[in-house]
Amino acid sequence: MELKRSMYKKKENIQLIVNSNCQLRILTKKDVSDDYIFWINDFDVTKYTEQRFRSHTKLDVENFVDEKFNSESDYLFGIYLDEKHIGNIKLGSIKWDHMIGTVSYFIGDKSFWGKGIASAAIKRVIKFALSDLKLKKINAGYYENNIRSAKVLEKCGFFIEGVKRSDIIFDGERINLILVGFTEEDANR
């Protein structure tokens, strides 16, 4: 519990270096740009997320970012490539009693799709979660037809742990939600 409090106090200063031109920085309301609003309303970007069901205003997004910034169980990072905000990755909600968290992500700027940036960001967040926050497990999930996320999460060392059958409606059909996990032991393999 003390670790959680100490990390929370300095949250705004957290920057994670992914590589020489990519870093992750905690988002604040000032980071909510027109590009960010465009991405979160772009069906191609959100079609495999629950965000696809609603339209987002700047105020909505600022409130979401502010909520995550003030949360003791969420870390919302912007993915920055050469100082350009191109997407987000979130660790949370963290269940501190069980020392587990959930990771979710998107690359909003489609010109950076398929370049390995999401994989690199996920690997860096896993390292932060295990080393700095002392979490023991990271969970994620994806729609069964989201082949890119399946490949990204497998590349990052996640294992399929379960299938929530017929859990999602996608294009008028019921599909499965795939549940994956990464444990502290997986990091040592």
pLDDT classification of 7: cutoffs 50, 70, 90:
low
pLDDT classification of 10: cutoffs 50, 70, 90:
low
CATH T-level topology, domain 2-136: Aminopeptidase (3.40.630)
Q: Is the pLDDT of residue 139 over 80?
A: yes
pLDDT classification of 95: cutoffs 50, 70, 90:
very high
Work out the percent of the chain whose per-residue pLDDT is above 90: 84
Residues 6+ apart with CB under 8 A from 121: 18, 22, 24, 77, 79, 87, 89, 105
Query: How deeply is 50 buried, as exposed, middle or buried, from its count of CB atoms within 10 A (0-12, 13-18, 19+)?
Result: exposed
Encode pLDDT of 70-90 as tens digits: 999 999 999 999 999 999 999
Encode pLDDT of 150-186 as tens digits: 999 999 999 999 999 999 999 999 999 999 999 999 8
State the average pLDDT for the chain. Answer: 92
CA angle 128, 132, 134 (to 5 degrees): 100
Residues 6+ apart with CB under 8 A from 97: none
* pLDDT score recorded for residue 122: 98
What are the sequence ranges of the domains in the chain? 2-136
Q: Which residue has the higher pLDDT, 8 or 86?
A: 86
**How is residue 147 written in tokens?**
């082949």
With the C-alpha atoms ordered 29, 30, 36, 41, is the resulting torsion angle positive or negative? positive
Residues 6+ apart with CB under 8 A from 10: none
d(CA 28, CA 13): 11
Place of tokens 């990755």: 89
Q: Is the pLDDT of residue 9 over 50?
A: no
Q: Which residue has the higher pLDDT, 118 or 52?
A: 118
